[in-house]
Amino acid sequence: MKSTHYFLGVPVKNIIIKERLLENRKKLQQQMDYKVWTAPEDFHLTLRFLGEVEDIEHWKEKVAGASDFPPFNLKIGEVGFFGNPQHPRVVFQSVSHSEELQRLFNYFQEGEAVRFHPHITLAKKWRKGKLPEIESGSSLSWDVDTCTLFKVHPGRTPKYEPVTSVTLKGQVKRWHN
Catalytic machinery residues:
44, 119
The candidate with the shortest Cα–Cα distance to 123, out of 41, 5, 25, 49, is 25
Q: How many angstroms separate the CA atoms of 29 and 134, rounded?
A: 12
Q: How many angstroms separate the CA atoms of 26 and 144, rounded?
A: 25
Label residue 83 left, alpha or beta by phi (over 0 means left) and psi (-120 to 50 means alpha). left
Q: How far apart are the first and last CA of the chain?
A: 59
